[in-house]
């Protein structure tokens, strides 16, 4: 009805009722006019009166249900709509249309970030059709975005109870549980979902759960039997193996067998980042060196780990003497047994031997052949790749040259196993999924999306970006040829073809005759002489509405790092491998309550080049959130959001419910002041060019 028709209908009804006050049809129509005019409470009263006069009228029941829905009285609404369809089966189609209308309205509101409206629509939908699993699931999504994790979990549980095959709901429920601190419960859900349909999404969710689990919780009986699944996750690349290392180490320490599958998976995929386990492995390496135990396979596994961590384990004088003997004998390629060569590989990289390439001409047991691939064949490939990497800019800045020299010591960061890619999605879609309420504007790109990785290191980020976004065309640059050569080799091995690598200094990229839809620079700008100058150069390359992902060190989170640097200065530790090893051993020996020992919580502490980057870097700037806020304001950048774990997001939403988009940097600054370790790994955030 149009507004004029409503007014005329209301006038006529009131005239009839003035003459016949108990005319049920007129009271009903007057109530329906009130409903259509946006007065649901008045409609409920009037249609209720009509229904008292004509209890079996299906139209009264249906329209009263509509008014009750509008007033939020969902259970009563469902009751009357159900009564209407019982009295008049023709209403079944009308109810189905109403359900479609409310459900689709909820989807549209959710897509546009109108959360309260979406929640109301989904609640109406499930009131009318309680068995609609997808509506319960989407209600959970809207509630979770609103910061109501407990209510979201309840909605997800309803969806799973209705349809246990909806494995995506397991993932969403798990995220809600992680946000509430019930990580063990989330892991149980992930395991259940993996039993139903082991999709890539569920495998990624499993990694998220493990990453969120405190290592101290590894003794929880609910996690019994999880070790084989964790070993699969590490070897099959369900995520970055480093995200699983803490829990893997905790589980390994509860076991005793050197033949344990999880131990082997851990040692062959990512550095051990646990002091106790490192000491156990250090002692085991020494024992194997000094005895005649013929466990070639495990020695090879240990050698694999030592190469990954760049021989960070402590070495005694007796070990040094024995290794020197093996090294001297290695001049003759046939002089060492497989076990002896494997032991030597656990102490020095085999590519450093004078006759390294000749080792490839001899037949070896399969485990040792894999070690030779890792320590000889692949470094030879990297040496060949160095000459093929183009230079886009000169490297004239003194600080940039010093930083390049540091990273030429060894490829940084060294990694062994890539996370398996999911199906690529448009970058707009991906970011909208992460930051549902953020003020994102579409890129508006229909063809290839040009992405710059400024400071790509060894290529892990570049490869993941190239695989994550549909139509991505990636240029990845870095100062270090050692790192770039490693990146090229890994990219080629993984069959990724949409990444180009080049050597460049960010400060010189302003002369590059290219522009980009997105630029990622995580953990790089703070090593420039002037980080903000480098940031401005990158902004000059960003297209209109372009997106930028930035990672910067938090001053608050790096308090222990600064204490460690004071120790290094006092002791005079050099940044050589021997100096890094000695520094690590002193810090590892400190009492657990020492503020300085907190530096061991950084994963970078556990390999030589990463520890050099963490504690011995030639150039580092640290930031606070207010510094970021000032630069964004100066540069006309829109803050999209921090990449943060669900528990941190829940912490923010609980404290600042007035900011469901989580984009108020003053609020984030206040949150970090009270929780100084929430950005231990850096501030990592997205912005958009206005």
Q: What is the pLDDT of residues 492-542, one digit of tens each?
A: 999 999 999 999 999 999 989 999 999 999 999 999 999 999 999 999 999
Among 386, 406, 424, the domain boundary falls at: 386
CA distance 52 to 22: 10
In a domain, 23, yes or no: yes
Give which of 237, 547, 269 is closest to 422, Cα–Cα.
237
In a domain, 373, yes or no: yes
In a domain, 261, yes or no: no
CA distances for 256 relative to 237, 281, 296, 502, 570, angstroms: 25, 12, 18, 46, 40
pLDDT for 440-457, tens place per residue? 999 877 889 999 999 999
CA distance 16 to 21: 8
pLDDT, residue 1, reads 46
Residues comprising the chain, all counted: 690
Mean pLDDT computed over every residue of the chain: 90
In a domain, 685, yes or no: yes
CATH number at 49 reads 1.25.40.10
CA distance 223 to 206: 13
Pair 400, 376 in one domain: no
pLDDT, residue 257, reads 54
Pair 419, 509 in one domain: yes
pLDDT for 528-581, tens place per residue? 999 999 999 999 999 999 999 999 999 999 999 999 999 999 999 999 999 999
Tell me if 539 sits within 8 A of 689, measured CB to CB. Answer: yes
pLDDT for 301-357, tens place per residue? 999 999 999 999 999 999 999 999 999 888 776 788 999 999 999 999 999 998 899
* Mean pLDDT across 132-151: 92
CA distance 313 to 287: 14
CA distance 585 to 623: 29
Give which of 376, 404, 377 is closest to 391, Cα–Cα.
404
pLDDT, residue 315, reads 92
pLDDT, residue 557, reads 95
Tell me if 349 sits within 8 A of 307, measured CB to CB. Answer: yes
At 315, list the tokens.
């070495």
CA distance 54 to 49: 9
pLDDT for 241-276, tens place per residue? 999 999 999 889 887 554 589 999 999 999 999 999
Q: Are strands 542-552 and 516-522 parallel, antiparallel or unpaired?
A: parallel
Pair 508, 584 in one domain: no
- Element holding 58 (H helix, E strand): helix 58-70
pLDDT, residue 168, reads 86
At 237, list the tokens.
């690349």
CA distances for 128 relative to 71, 96, 483, angstroms: 14, 9, 59
Pair 628, 505 in one domain: yes
* Mean pLDDT across 68-89: 74
Q: To 5 degrees, how large is the angle CA 52–CA 54–CA 58?
A: 110
DSSP codes, 507-548: GGGGG-S--EEEEEEES-GGGSSSHHHHHHHHHHTEEEEEEE
Please state the domain count of the chain: 4
- Element holding 502 (H helix, E strand): strand 499-503
In a domain, 326, yes or no: yes
Pair 394, 451 in one domain: yes
Pair 284, 354 in one domain: yes
* Mean pLDDT across 583-588: 97
* Mean pLDDT across 222-240: 90
DSSP codes, 325-390: HHHHHTTSTTSS-HHHHHHHHTTS-GGGSTTGGGGGGS---HHHHHHHIIIIIHHHHHHHHHTT--
pLDDT band, residue 481 (cuts 50/70/90) = very high
Give phi and psi for 502, each to the nearest 5: -155, 155
Least confident range from 257-261, 458-462, 645-649, 650-654: namely 257-261
Pair 441, 505 in one domain: yes
Give phi and psi for 530, each to the nearest 5: -135, 95
DSSP codes, 101-118: HHHHHHHHHHHTT-HHHH
At 305, list the tokens.
């780990």
Pair 573, 672 in one domain: no
Pair 426, 408 in one domain: yes
* Mean pLDDT across 469-476: 96
At 597, list the tokens.
């020992």
Pair 440, 515 in one domain: yes
Query: How does DSSP classify residue 223?
Result: G
422: helix, strand or coil: coil
pLDDT of 195 strictly over 50 = yes
Query: How does DSSP classify residue 463?
Result: H
Give which of 395, 399, 423 is closest to 484, Cα–Cα.
395
Give phi and psi for 519, each to the nearest 5: -130, 130
Tell me if 165 sits within 8 A of 199, measured CB to CB. Answer: no
Query: How does DSSP classify residue 413?
Result: S
User: What number of CA atoms fall less than 13 Å from residue 126's CA on the CB side?
Assistant: 19
CA distance 233 to 390: 36
**pTM, 2 dp:** 0.86
Tell me if 121 sits within 8 A of 103, measured CB to CB. Answer: yes
Pair 569, 673 in one domain: no
CATH number at 424 reads 3.40.50.150
Give which of 620, 616, 514 is closest to 574, Cα–Cα.
616
pLDDT for 354-407, tens place per residue? 889 999 988 999 999 999 999 999 999 999 999 999 999 999 999 999 999 999
CA distance 88 to 56: 10
Give which of 283, 307, 303 is closest to 346, Cα–Cα.
303
In a domain, 113, yes or no: no
* Mean pLDDT across 67-95: 75
In a domain, 333, yes or no: yes
CA distances for 382 relative to 299, 419, 459, angstroms: 25, 21, 13
Beta-bridge partners for 623: 554
The full 3-state SS of 575-632, as one line of letters, equals CCHHHHHHHHHHHHCCCCCCHHHHHHHCHHHHCHHHHHHHHCCCCCCCECHHHHHHHH
Q: Which of 72-86, 212-226, 592-606 has the highest mean pLDDT?
A: 592-606
pLDDT, residue 3, reads 52
Pair 445, 395 in one domain: yes
Q: What is the span of the domain harbouring residue 16?
A: 3-89
244: helix, strand or coil: helix
In a domain, 108, yes or no: no
Q: Are strands 472-478 and 499-503 parallel, antiparallel or unpaired?
A: parallel
At 158, list the tokens.
């309803």
Tell me if 135 sits within 8 A of 107, measured CB to CB. Answer: no
Among 60, 89, 118, the domain boundary falls at: 89
Q: Are strands 499-503 and 516-522 parallel, antiparallel or unpaired?
A: unpaired
Among 331, 365, 386, the domain boundary falls at: 386
pLDDT band, residue 27 (cuts 50/70/90) = confident
CA distance 469 to 516: 14
* Mean pLDDT across 608-624: 96
CA distances for 158 relative to 136, 139, 154, 183, 519, angstroms: 6, 10, 6, 20, 41
The dihedral through the CA atoms of 124, 125, 131, 134 has a sign that is negative
SS3 content of the chain, % helix, strand, coil (to 5): 60, 10, 30
Residue 151 burial by CB count (10 A; 0-12/13-18/19+): exposed, middle or buried? Answer: middle
pLDDT, residue 47, reads 75
């Amino acid at each position: 009805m149009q507004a004029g028709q409503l007014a005329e209908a209301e006038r006529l009804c009131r005239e009839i009722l003035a003459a016949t006050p108990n005319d049920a049809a007129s009271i009903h129509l007057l109530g329906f006019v009130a409903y259509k005019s946006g007065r649901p409470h008045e409609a409920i009263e009037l249609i209720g009166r009509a229904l008292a006069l004509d209890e079996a009228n299906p139209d009264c029941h249906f329209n009263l249900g509509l008014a009750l829905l509008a007033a939020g009285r969902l259970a009563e609404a469902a009751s009357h709509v159900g009564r209407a369809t019982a009295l008049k089966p023709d209403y079944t189609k009308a109810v189905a249309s109403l359900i479609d209308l409310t459900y689709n309205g909820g989807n549209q509101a959710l897509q546009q970030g109108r959360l309260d409206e979406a929640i109301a629509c989904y609640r109406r939908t499930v009131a009318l059709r309680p068995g609609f699993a997808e509506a319960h699931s989407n209600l959970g999504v809207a509630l979770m975005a609103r910061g109501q994790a407990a209510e979201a979990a309840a909605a997800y549980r309803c969806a799973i109870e209705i349809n246990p095959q909806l494995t995506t709901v397991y993932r969403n429920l798990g995220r809600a549980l992680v946000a509430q601190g019930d990580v063990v419960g989330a892991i149980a859900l992930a395991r259940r979902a993996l039993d139903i349909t082991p999709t890539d999404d569920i495998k990624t969710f499993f990694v998220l759960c493990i990453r969120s689990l405190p290592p101290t919780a590894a003794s929880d009986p609910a996690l019994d039997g999880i070790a084989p699944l964790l070993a699969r996750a590490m070897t099959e690349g369900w995520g970055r193996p480093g995200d699983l290392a803490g829990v893997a180490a905790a589980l390994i320490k509860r076991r005793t067998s050197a033949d344990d599958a999880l131990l082997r998976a851990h040692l062959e995929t990512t550095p051990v980042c646990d002091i106790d386990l490192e000491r156990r492995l250090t002692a085991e390496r020494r024992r194997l060196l000094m005895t005649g135990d013929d466990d070639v396979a495990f020695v090879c596994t240990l050698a694999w780990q030592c190469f990954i961590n760049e021989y960070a384990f402590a070495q005694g004088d007796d070990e040094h003497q024995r290794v020197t003997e093996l090294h001297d004998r290695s001049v003759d390629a046939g002089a060492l047994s497989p076990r002896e060569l494997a032991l030597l590989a656990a102490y020095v990289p085999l590519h450093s031997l004078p006759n390294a390439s000749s080792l490839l001409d001899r037949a070896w047991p399969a485990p040792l052949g894999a070690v030779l691939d890792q320590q000889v064949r692949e470094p030879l490939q990297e040496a060949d790749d160095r000459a093929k990497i183009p230079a886009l800019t000169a490297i004239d800045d003194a600080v940039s040259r010093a930083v390049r020299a540091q990273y030429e010591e060894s490829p940084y960061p060294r990694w062994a196993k890539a996370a398996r890619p999911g199906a690529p999605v448009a970058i707009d879609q991906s970011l909208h999924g992460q930051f549902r309420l953020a003020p994102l504007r579409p890129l508006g790109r229909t063809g290839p999306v040009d992405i710059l990785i400024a400071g790509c290191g060894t290529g892990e980020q570049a490869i993941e970006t190239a695989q994550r976004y549909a139509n991505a065309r990636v240029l990845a640059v870095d100062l270090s040829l050692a790192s770039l050569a490693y990146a090229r080799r890994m990219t080629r091995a993984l069959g990724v073809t949409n990444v180009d690598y080049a050597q460049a200094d960010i400060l010189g990229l302003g002369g590059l005759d290219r522009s980009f839809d997105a630029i990622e620079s995580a953990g790089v700008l703070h090593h420039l002489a002037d980080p903000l100058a480098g940031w401005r150069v990158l902004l000059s390359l960003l297209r209109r509405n372009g997106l930028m992902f930035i990672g910067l060190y938090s001053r608050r989170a790096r308090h222990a790092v600064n204490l460690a640097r004071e120790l290094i200065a006092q002791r005079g530790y050099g940044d050589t491998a021997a100096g890094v090893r000695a520094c690590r051993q002193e810090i590892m020996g400190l009492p657990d309550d020492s503020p300085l020992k907190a530096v061991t919580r950084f994963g970078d502490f556990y390999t030589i080049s990463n520890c050099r980057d963490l504690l011995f870097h030639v150039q580092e700037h640290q930031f606070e959130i207010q510094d970021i806020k000032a630069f964004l304001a100066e540069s006309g950048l829109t803050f999209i959001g921090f990449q943060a774990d669900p528990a941190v997001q829940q912490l923010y939403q609980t404290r600042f419910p007035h900011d469901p988009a989580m984009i108020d940097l003053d609020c984030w600054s206040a949150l970090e002041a009270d929780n100084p370790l929430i950005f231990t790994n850096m501030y990592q955030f997205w912005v958009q060019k206005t």
